Structure 1
Amino acid sequence: MRPLRLALSLLTIFPLAPKEATPEDFRRSTLFFPLAGYALGLPLSLLALLPLPDGFLAALLLACLLLLTGFLHLDGLLDAADALLGSRPRAERLRILKDPHLGPFAFGVGGLYLLLLWQALALVRDPLFLLFLPGFARFAILPFLNRYPLLHQGMAGLIRGGPVWGAFLLALPFPLLYPWSALLTLFTAYLVARFALARLGGINGDVLGAMIALGELGGLVGYVLWKALSG
């Protein structure tokens, strides 16, 4: 199926993009974003079964997640950090968003993000959670992608308007099993989208990448807090 292959090629390093794809194929690919997330989560869940020290296992999980995504969402987070943070006029923020060079906000946010992600992964050894989280985090961007204005067409414009409810059904196991983590994942994605709307006037591919990256972190934090409070 071309839409499924597109979803995998857009969100992972797997070279499965079809040679020919129509605009409808791109829109329908969002239906399979949760499945692309599960393709990322499966090796994480298998790694979690290994009897390794928590810190070392977390480093492996972090490396696996970053490598299998081709650092795509991390790159979006870094670009968005430079554009969204600090006191600048909107025109300057938009210019920075297009600049491939990294500024101080990118380095600061990137360092804190990787540190927090590593620490959160060190506290999570639940294979099912690690399987389903990436799928839900990739679903979580879709309601905002379809509702908020785009800064420009690009790839975000090609996938805009896809089937949100169908994707939600595929992502449903996560909120059923981990409702608080799912809520925090979705809320984190919402906060990033709202912040981009206020600072830039819309969202783009970099903002979507930041929403996924921080949404996953939000879900992990939600799991850790839930375990701490319920234990």
Structure 2
Amino acid sequence: MKKTSEDGVPGKDSRDTRATGFDRFLSAFSLVSRLPVRRSFFFDPSRLDFHLPLVGLPVSLLAAATMAAAMRATASPTAAAFAVLAVQYLAFNLFHLDGLLDTADAFLGPGDAQKRLAILKDSRIGVFAFFAGFMALAAKLALLLRVAGLGPDSGNLFGLAAVLAYPIAGRAAAALVPALAPPAGETGLGALAKGSKASRVLAGSLAGIIPWAALSMLLPSLFAPVFPAIAAASPFEPLFLLGWACIVPSAIIPAVFFARLYRRGVGGYTGDALGAAVESGELLHLALSLAALGAAGAV
């Protein structure tokens, strides 16, 4: 498996005073996306804690658009779930999946800190990584399949709310890890995220949530011409708001887990910890959202 920018970026420090907020967003985007940035910008990763959750915005838009288009074209939740999974991973999440695989290989088997660090840097994958990757993708596909069945064609906004929210939850989890543990080394994405603050992660997460929350008020009118069943839906229903509320535990739980795991195992986090946190945060958000909906008797 080819190593990615999550564990191979050379360290840089100091905040570039020439960089704008958009430059810092593009800096974060360029580090965690497979999509090229086709414009020049000042590279300044000093605010990854704020901008990493914001990278969830284009991921959310891509996932929601893919799901809506696939459901419109095929009326099949299975096709929609596969489409979202394929598009999201090809554009963004392959980097993060690599971090989860490396984490599984390094921490599920025996070894000391030096052996774990060597495994994290190894481009090959072992049986633990294969198993973890298979289970993660299978679980996400199953959850997306359930979410796709709660889309606008069913007169329900919950599916769209979950799809818009879960990429932000995963990236907020990753942004929190550096606020809870020191970096394991002086290079790589871990070093770039050094000095992160939980307050800026919260601010970045809110900045990512607010545009979609505002857009959600328009969803019934936007989708009604294409999905007539949604015309009477309300974005203020408590069940719809669950999709946003579940971001909080979905970000905190994986961040605390991987920060603690890496601190104890190798002395601090690496870029692979951030990738594992993204994958785990996304999965947890989808699972919690559906569990809350089930507890409310809506599914």
- The TM-score with structure 1 as length reference comes to 0.89
Comparing both structures, which one devotes a greater share of its residues to helix? 1
- 1:10-65 CA-partner distances (Å, limit 9, x unpaired): 2222222765635xx21124422222111011121122222432222111111111
Residue in 2 aligned with 1:180? 246
Residue in 1 aligned with 2:229? none
Residue in 1 aligned with 2:294? 228
Asked if residue 138 in structure 1 is aligned to residue 171 in structure 2, the reply is yes
Q: Is the 8 A contact 2:173 2:250 kept in 1?
A: no
Asked if residue 75 in structure 1 is aligned to residue 94 in structure 2, the reply is no
- 1:18 and 1:204 mapped to 2: Cα distance? 28
User: Which amino acid in the other structure matches residue 188 of structure 1?
Assistant: P
- 1:35 and 1:140 mapped to 2: Cα distance? 12
Asked if residue 197 in structure 1 is aligned to residue 231 in structure 2, the reply is no
Q: Which one has a bigger Cα radius of gyration?
A: 2
Q: Is the 8 A contact 1:141 1:212 kept in 2?
A: yes
- 1:91-115 CA-partner distances (Å, limit 9, x unpaired): 2112111111111100011111111
Residue in 1 aligned with 2:81? 58
Q: Is the 8 A contact 1:3 1:28 kept in 2?
A: yes
CA 180–31 in structure 1, closer or farther in 2 if over 3 Å, else same: closer
Q: CA deviation at 1:178?
A: 3.0
SS of residue matched to 1:152: coil
Q: Is the 8 A contact 2:53 2:172 kept in 1?
A: yes
Asked if residue 41 in structure 1 is aligned to residue 71 in structure 2, the reply is no
- 1:177 and 1:110 mapped to 2: Cα distance? 25
Q: Is the 8 A contact 1:73 1:212 kept in 2?
A: yes
- 1:192-215 CA-partner distances (Å, limit 9, x unpaired): 222222222211001110010111
- Which residue among 79, 83, 86 is the counterpart of 2:109? 86
- 1:189 and 1:143 mapped to 2: Cα distance? 6
Q: CA deviation at 1:166?
A: 2.8
- Which residue among 205, 218, 223 is the counterpart of 2:284? 218
Q: CA deviation at 1:186?
A: 2.4
Gaps of 5+ in 1: none
Q: Is the 8 A contact 1:62 1:118 kept in 2?
A: yes
Q: CA deviation at 1:70?
A: 5.7
Residue in 1 aligned with 2:25? 4
Residue in 2 aligned with 1:128? 161
- 2:169 and 2:207 mapped to 1: Cα distance? 9
User: Which amino acid in the other structure matches residue 43 of structure 1?
Assistant: L
- 2:264 and 2:38 mapped to 1: Cα distance? 34
Residue in 1 aligned with 2:274? 208
CA 180–54 in structure 1, closer or farther in 2 if over 3 Å, else same: same
Shifted more, 6-15 versus 212-221: the winner is 6-15
Corresponding residue pairs, total = 229
Q: CA deviation at 1:117?
A: 0.8
CA 46–168 in structure 1, closer or farther in 2 if over 3 Å, else same: closer
Q: Is the 8 A contact 1:46 1:127 kept in 2?
A: no
Gaps of 5+ in 2: 1-21, 149-158, 214-240
- 1:46 and 1:114 mapped to 2: Cα distance? 20
- 2:284 and 2:202 mapped to 1: Cα distance? 22
- The TM-score with structure 2 as length reference comes to 0.70
1:10-21 to structure 2, matched below 5 A, reads 10-16=31-37, 19=40, 21=42
